[in-house]
Amino acid sequence: MPDGSMWEWRWESAWPAILACSAVTYLIRIGGYWLMGRVPVGPRMSRALDALPGAIFVAATLPIAVKAGPPGLAAAAAAGLTMLATKRDWAAIFLGLAAGAATRAAGF
């Protein structure tokens, strides 16, 4: 690059950023799926893939719920227990959000 000036570029349109963010997001969406078709899936990889959905659920939910404090833990517990007891996801979502909002409204 002549005199390293590309860091000095300025432009008005947001579209380069919007399109780049969209493209990167799509590549991430297909990337893991594509990669798993390129690597040999033996017994170990098969066990990893089998455990992956549950591991994603836990890794995504636990830190956010803990960081949010009582409202986060109440929301997670209400949603999980309702699903376990009733198998109705609409009830689990409703009671989960209600438990979170109520705990927060109560000042926790």
Partner 1 sequence: MNETTTIAEPIGPTLAGMALGARMAAPFAPGLIVFALANGALSAQTGLSFAETFGMSGVMFAGGAQAMATQMWPHGAWSLSTTLTMIGVVAAVNSRMFLMGASLRPWLSQAPASLIYPNLALLTDLNWSIGVSHRANGGSDIGVVLGAGLLSWIVWTPICMLGWALTGLVTDPRRYALDLMMVVVFSAMSINVFKRARSASPFVVSGAAALAASWLIGGFWFIVIGAVAGAGWAALRGGDA
Per CB under 8 A, does 35 bind partner 1?
yes
If the CB atoms of residues 53 and 107 are measured against partner 1, the closer one turns out to be 53
Residue 19 CB, shortest distance to partner 1, in Å, is 7
How many residues comprise the chain?
108
Per CB under 8 A, does 16 bind partner 1?
yes
Looking up tokens 């990669």 gives 35
Residue 104's nearest CA partner among 77, 78, 74, 64 is 74
Q: Which of residues 44-103 bind partner 1 (CB under 8 A)?
A: 44-68, 71-72, 75-77, 79-80, 82-84, 89-90, 92-94, 96-101
Q: How many CB atoms are located within 10 Å of the residue 73 CB? A: 17
* Binder of partner 1 out of 3, 4, 11, 107 (CB under 8 A): 11
* Binder of partner 1 out of 25, 40, 106, 108 (CB under 8 A): 25
What Rg value do the Cα atoms of the chain yield, rounded? Answer: 22
Give per-residue burial for 87-104: e unless 16+ CB within 10 Å, then b.
Answer: eeeeebeebbeebbeebb
Residue 73 CB, shortest distance to partner 1, in Å, is 9
